[in-house]
Structure 1
Amino acid sequence: MSQTDFKTYTEHVESGKTLGNDDATGGIREFAAVNQVNAHEKGLSYSQGIRRYKIALVYCFCVSLGAMLNGLDGSIQGQVISIPTFRKAFGYQSNGQYIVPASWQSAWSGGQRAVTMIAALFAGALADRIGRRNTLYIACIVSIGSVFMLVFAPPGSFAMILVGRMVNGAASALFNCIAASYTSELSPLPIRGLTTGGLNIWIVGGQLTAAGVTYACGTRNDNWAWRIPLAVQWSVPALMLLTLPFIPESPWHLVRKGKMEEARKALVRLYWLSGDDVDQHLARIDEVVLLEAHNKDNGTGTYLDLFRRTNLRRTIVVAVVFMCQEFAGVQFVLGFSTYFFQLAGFPVAQSFKLNIGTLSLAFVGNLIGLSLINRVGRRRLFIVGMCTCAADCLGLAICSMIPGQAALWGQASFTMIYMLAFQSGIGPVAYALVGELGSAKLRAKTVGWGMAVHNTSVGTTQVILPYLVNPDQANLKGKVGWIFFGVAVVGAIWAYFFVPETAHRNIDELDELFARGIPARKFHKTELGLDRSAAFETEI
């Protein structure tokens, strides 16, 4: 497309006219750019996509770095309580030991989860209003300030820790939501599974870093034993601030704002060295945005539209996918792995090393999952992951019923196997599905909704687990595996009927599949025509 043609094209778009040949009612009937881009991207393999779109891949990974704060924050906040100098600084002495008041522990955890959930809900609206990059800048500033409060909180200042954790939780929610929506928008089809599912590998990387730093610093005899692990969280916003000036704004956001020239410049940067026609990509984005603008299902793009018409189905799937992720037992295994290692007879120091080893297996599992996410598909990988986690919880539960050292070793082994299995399937796939299932117009809000449900599920599980496991409560220990086995089986059955296959489908194709009410198990084999608008009830 020449510069003259491009100028004519942008004037045509900004005048509010549609692309393609209009029918008698003014409806959009031809989507040349959509069809051409779809055909081109579907002709590329996974490895070809990585090589061709390496620049877009780098941009997506830079934005996903913010998700590392989720892993760091969630792990460090829990692990610092095990550090003796922290318990001395914020606890009271009882029977020769320092104990952090349970009321404040609950307030820290519950307060942070509540704020994180609220921030996730507002993240989508904020990103749609001011843009993805500006939202990330806000998250960086908020995180730096909150970590400052945590690191330099004087001993005994419980309220300062509470405020710091709540504010940092809000920043973490912004990072997660923007990373999921940004990677979904910017990624060409062959690498979309890698970039959206790759969000989880940054979270696991944060958890692994937290475990290593806490282990290295926890034996110090001063307050820096807990301040250093908390200060490590500064690394995320600091690195983000260094990279954000070089990261382009989402062209999808710019097109919706009518900033066609800026959108084209962003696409030039994204598709640099790929050989793709950026004007064709720009036309394709505009065609999809115009179609969705006229689709009654999307309404005016408010949160209420998530629960209307065909969007309700997407919203439910996004929510239950994240609920399955938590209720399959990951918080139980992740939170009590060190405990099971100690039951198996390992010394305390050795059990913490094994916990680091377990998280290393989780990291490897993510790499396996990301290598299979296109080849095997999201749907199959998720269902197999649910079944594998169910089988693992069953094995752990059976071992808990058998006396003897061998059974204790079995429980410890199943915790390690679980993390490998979970992170090979459910872990990365859930983030890929959440980033892909929302319509283009409601994507940021759909992601925010999903993250809010995720945080609610995590908080619910963390509140219930101590009552099931603690010796002064139900004292079920490994027998909790029976509960998670049952829930995981139900989740696997639900996934078979309701989780659609999103691999190898672009956003306009997914819109049509949902609009036509295609059953989830038939998404991957349903053939679509070239006339996208015929599938929708429009307002034009």
Structure 2
Amino acid sequence: MSNDIETKPYSAAEVETKPDVYEMEHVEQPKMNDPSGFKADAVEAENAEHAMTVLEAVRAYPMACFWAFFMSCTIIMESYDLFLIGNFVALPAFTLRFGIYDAASNSYVIATKWQSALQMSGQLGALIGVFLAGPITSRIGYRWATLFGLMLMNATIFVSFFANSLPVFFVGQLLEGLPWGIFIANAPAYCSEIVPMRLRAPATQVLQMFWAIGSIIVGAVTYVYNSRSGQSAYKIPLALQWLFPTPLAIVMFFAPESPWWLVRKGRHDQAVRSVERLGRKSRLLNPSETVAMMRRVVEMEESASAPNYIELFKGADLRRTLIVCGIYAAQNLAGNLIANQAVYFFEQAGMSVNTAFALGLITSALQMIFVMLSWILTTYFGRRTIYLWGTGFNIVMLVALGIAASVNTSKASQYAQASFGLIVSVMFTFAAAPASWVVIGETSAIRLRPLTTGIGRATYYIIEIPCIFLASYMLNPTSGNLGGKCGYVWGATALICWVTAYFCLPEMKGRSYREIDIMFKRRIPARQFAKTDIGVLEDE
């Protein structure tokens, strides 16, 4: 297509009210200060993305949706193992093999310190993994970094499977966490980079759906094996982890690299081929123009030095880093840990073992359904709006949970606690969690994205590890024994997250990465993002 950008439609009213902009775009192209000419194509591509509807974007980028789907599948492995360990502490065969006798409950339980240690071991490994993911991905790309993680996952499962003591089990889970860190750092970044603007929300929200799918698989497996008394009750669920890495590695071997990553490396011809593989050429998609749009953003962010962690804490990037870290940290502070320990929570609320496992499975199934419903929600409402309303609703439910646990013990109280716990878990995956993934994928600068998502997820684990100890202490009958009263604690932390988000979380719905870059550089207040106009020719 010609570099002439006169094809951008303007109404008569717009020509009257914005004569300067009209003249710049339609009369004097040299005003773009674009000696190479590619910025004109960049404007065309950005205008095309703004004009697309969601359905048009799906039709223009069918393979981008396909590859985002499979990249998101890697999240199943962290979800599966995390929920599996959460269920093991309530699994009779596991507690009988590794637990201690509790006279008060006349049963075997995993000691509080080991209950917490096992649940944080994978997160500790993932904390190391996310710091490795940024430099590795910046150097070799999302595709090869993911393949490396999948092969590493295959190897580390052996340690947990053959563990015959809690210390060895701890080491096995820690090692499994290393590839988790790579997957969780790369998946939201890759998904947000390969799809057009209108698909950024559903493409990144798929991550939460696969998180729910992992918990559904765990719920089904442990529900089947919870009545078994031998080692197979926990060995077989562990072995099932081998079903995921190799098939995913075969599929991801054929995946295209992120065109944004290729542009950052100066490999523009390969970036064009990557865009061609992600979409299909039509009036809505011109690969050369799309790469020109990427070049424009990358050149705006250009720096003399290679991307490094120090840059994340300088200038406008500091604010972006804090938003990503804050939104990740809030995932642990708004009651989500009740979902991660759903079966154990239901047991402590007074449910029988079978009922607790059944409720855990129902919770996971509802989470998957509500994640899919959230795709519709984000099409019509902004990320900020969804996050604030969703978190606000959960604050009310958490306080109600605490109140239900504070009244006299009865069947009604137990059912109320179970109900409020289930509602909190499901509503988190309907509003706050999906919105969080979109914010994580959109906020960071393109140049620093692998590093920003990595350090953001590291913040998640740094907050989660002490929270796991706190959650285990509050629920364990040999320790805090708070049961549903933990709703007061999580309600208070969720309120802090809500207040922080109200003042600090910007609205980025319908914004190109160029527009987001400019608004952060101009230090636009969070509550003004949605009202700020950025011209198509502005680069700073």
* TM-score under structure 1 length normalisation: 0.88
Alignment of 1:119-268 (within 5 A): 119-153=129-163, 155-156=164-165, 158-268=166-276
Once residues 322 and 292 of structure 1 are traced to their aligned partners in structure 2, the CA distance between those partners, rounded to angstroms, is 24
Question: How far apart are residue 325 of structure 1 and its match?
Answer: 1.9
Question: How far apart are residue 418 of structure 1 and its match?
Answer: 1.4
Cα 1:350–1:189 change in 2 (3 A) is same
Q: Determine if contact 1:196/1:431 at 8 Å carries over to the other structure.
A: yes
Q: Which residue of 2 aligns with 1:504?
A: 510
Alignment of 1:87-98 (within 5 A): 87-91=95-99
Paired letter, 1:268: E
Once residues 479 and 181 of structure 1 are traced to their aligned partners in structure 2, the CA distance between those partners, rounded to angstroms, is 37
Q: Which residue of 2 aligns with 1:377?
A: 382
Once residues 462 and 475 of structure 2 are traced to their aligned partners in structure 1, the CA distance between those partners, rounded to angstroms, is 20
Q: Determine if contact 1:115/1:170 at 8 Å carries over to the other structure.
A: yes
Q: Which residue of 2 aligns with 1:12?
A: none
Q: Which residue of 2 aligns with 1:285?
A: 294
Once residues 283 and 336 of structure 1 are traced to their aligned partners in structure 2, the CA distance between those partners, rounded to angstroms, is 48
3-state SS of the aligned residue for 1:82?
Answer: coil
Q: Are positions 1:519 and 2:529 aligned together?
A: no
Paired letter, 2:390: G
Paired letter, 1:358: T
Q: Which residue of 2 aligns with 1:17?
A: none
Question: How far apart are residue 114 of structure 1 and its match?
Answer: 2.1
Q: Which residue of 2 aligns with 1:356?
A: 361
Question: How far apart are residue 428 of structure 1 and its match?
Answer: 1.1
Q: Which residue of 1 aligns with 2:401?
A: 396
Which segment drifts farther, 283-292 or 310-319?
283-292
Paired letter, 1:164: G
Q: Determine if contact 1:30/1:531 at 8 Å carries over to the other structure.
A: no
| Equivalent in 398, 415, 419 of residue 413 of structure 1 | 419
Q: Determine if contact 1:361/1:419 at 8 Å carries over to the other structure.
A: no
Q: How many residues align?
A: 510
Cα 1:320–1:273 change in 2 (3 A) is same
Question: How far apart are residue 402 of structure 1 and its match?
Answer: 2.2
Alignment of 1:472-487 (within 5 A): 472-487=478-493
Paired letter, 1:325: Q
Q: Determine if contact 1:378/1:433 at 8 Å carries over to the other structure.
A: yes
Cα 1:353–1:97 change in 2 (3 A) is closer
Q: Determine if contact 1:337/1:415 at 8 Å carries over to the other structure.
A: no
Once residues 363 and 332 of structure 1 are traced to their aligned partners in structure 2, the CA distance between those partners, rounded to angstroms, is 16
Once residues 287 and 35 of structure 2 are traced to their aligned partners in structure 1, the CA distance between those partners, rounded to angstroms, is 25
3-state SS of the aligned residue for 2:379?
Answer: coil
Once residues 528 and 190 of structure 2 are traced to their aligned partners in structure 1, the CA distance between those partners, rounded to angstroms, is 28
Once residues 97 and 128 of structure 2 are traced to their aligned partners in structure 1, the CA distance between those partners, rounded to angstroms, is 30
Question: How far apart are residue 486 of structure 1 and its match?
Answer: 2.2
Q: Determine if contact 2:335/2:424 at 8 Å carries over to the other structure.
A: no
Q: Are positions 1:492 and 2:498 aligned together?
A: yes
Alignment of 1:268-283 (within 5 A): 268-272=276-280, 276-283=285-292
| Equivalent in 303, 307, 311 of residue 301 of structure 1 | 307
1:292-341 alpha-carbon deviations (Å, 9 max, x no partner): 105x9xx6421011000011111111111122221111103542555446
Once residues 262 and 144 of structure 2 are traced to their aligned partners in structure 1, the CA distance between those partners, rounded to angstroms, is 13
Cα 1:468–1:338 change in 2 (3 A) is closer
Cα 1:389–1:102 change in 2 (3 A) is closer
3-state SS of the aligned residue for 2:335?
Answer: helix
3-state SS of the aligned residue for 1:442?
Answer: helix
Once residues 204 and 416 of structure 1 are traced to their aligned partners in structure 2, the CA distance between those partners, rounded to angstroms, is 14
Once residues 162 and 376 of structure 2 are traced to their aligned partners in structure 1, the CA distance between those partners, rounded to angstroms, is 42
Q: Unpaired runs of 5+ in structure 1? A: 3-19, 536-540
Which segment drifts farther, 80-89 or 500-509?
80-89
Once residues 22 and 128 of structure 1 are traced to their aligned partners in structure 2, the CA distance between those partners, rounded to angstroms, is 35
Once residues 88 and 478 of structure 1 are traced to their aligned partners in structure 2, the CA distance between those partners, rounded to angstroms, is 26
Q: Which residue of 2 aligns with 1:387?
A: 392
Question: How far apart are residue 29 of structure 1 and its match?
Answer: 10
Aligned-pair identity (%): 28
Q: Unpaired runs of 5+ in structure 2? A: 3-28
Q: Are positions 1:37 and 2:41 aligned together?
A: no
Question: How far apart are residue 104 of structure 1 and its match?
Answer: 4.4
Aligned-residue CA RMSD in angstroms? Answer: 2.5
1:393-425 alpha-carbon deviations (Å, 9 max, x no partner): 111122122224323222111112112211111
1:334-393 alpha-carbon deviations (Å, 9 max, x no partner): 42555446645x432122111111111111221121221131111100011110110111
Once residues 72 and 339 of structure 2 are traced to their aligned partners in structure 1, the CA distance between those partners, rounded to angstroms, is 25
Once residues 226 and 191 of structure 2 are traced to their aligned partners in structure 1, the CA distance between those partners, rounded to angstroms, is 36
Q: Which residue of 1 aligns with 2:434?
A: 428
Q: Determine if contact 1:91/1:101 at 8 Å carries over to the other structure.
A: yes
* TM-score under structure 2 length normalisation: 0.88
Q: Determine if contact 2:100/2:110 at 8 Å carries over to the other structure.
A: yes
Cα 1:516–1:121 change in 2 (3 A) is same
Which segment drifts farther, 251-260 or 442-451?
251-260
Question: How far apart are residue 72 of structure 1 and its match?
Answer: 0.5
Once residues 219 and 33 of structure 1 are traced to their aligned partners in structure 2, the CA distance between those partners, rounded to angstroms, is 63
Which segment drifts farther, 480-489 or 384-393?
480-489
3-state SS of the aligned residue for 1:326?
Answer: coil
Question: How far apart are residue 76 of structure 1 and its match?
Answer: 1.1
Cα 1:484–1:160 change in 2 (3 A) is closer
Once residues 345 and 123 of structure 2 are traced to their aligned partners in structure 1, the CA distance between those partners, rounded to angstroms, is 24
Question: How far apart are residue 21 of structure 1 and its match?
Answer: 5.6
Which segment drifts farther, 420-429 or 211-220?
211-220
Q: Determine if contact 1:119/1:170 at 8 Å carries over to the other structure.
A: yes
Once residues 35 and 185 of structure 2 are traced to their aligned partners in structure 1, the CA distance between those partners, rounded to angstroms, is 33
